[in-house]
C-alpha cells in the first residue's frame, strides 16, 4: 500500500486534476468565492459528499444489525445536520472573506 492510500480526505498535498463542470456551476462558485478560492471550495464540497456517503454506510450497517432507525430520531438528526451544515457554510464564507 502506498502512502497516498493511507491519506484521509482533506490530507496531503494538493494534486492538480481536470474536472468538467457545467458553466452555471462554475459561475456560481466563482461569484461566491472568486477564482482564487475555487479549488478549496470544490475540495470542501467533495469532502462533504464523502462524509455523507460514509454516514449513509454507517446508518445502513446499523439498520442491518438493529433494524430501522425510528422516524422521530431521523427527524431530530436531520434537523441537527442541516443546522450544522448551515453554520459551517456561514463559517466558511467568513473565513474566505
pLDDT band at 80 (very low <50, low <70, confident <90, very high): very high
pLDDT, position 61: 95
pLDDT, position 3: 61
pLDDT, position 27: 96
Write out pLDDT tens, residues 5-14.
Answer: 788 888 999 9
Domain residue extents for the chain: 3-69
**DSSP assignment, residue 12?**
S
Write out pLDDT tens, residues 24-64.
Answer: 999 999 999 998 999 999 999 999 999 999 999 998 999 99
d(CA 1, CA 5): 6
pLDDT, position 5: 72
Amino acid at each position: 500500500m502506498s502512502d497516498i492510500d493511507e491519506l484521509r480526505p482533506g490530507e496531503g498535498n494538493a494534486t492538480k486534476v481536470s474536472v468538467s463542470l457545467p458553466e452555471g456551476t462554475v459561475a456560481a462558485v466563482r461569484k461566491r468565492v472568486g477564482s482564487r478560492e475555487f479549488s478549496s471550495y470544490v475540495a470542501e464540497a467533495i469532502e462533504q459528499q464523502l462524509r455523507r456517503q460514509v454516514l449513509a454506510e454507517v446508518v445502513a450497517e446499523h439498520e442491518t444489525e438493529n433494524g430501522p432507525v425510528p422516524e422521530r430520531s431521523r427527524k431530530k438528526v436531520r434537523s441537527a445536520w442541516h443546522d450544522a451544515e448551515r453554520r459551517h457554510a456561514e463559517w466558511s464564507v467568513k473565513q474566505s472573506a
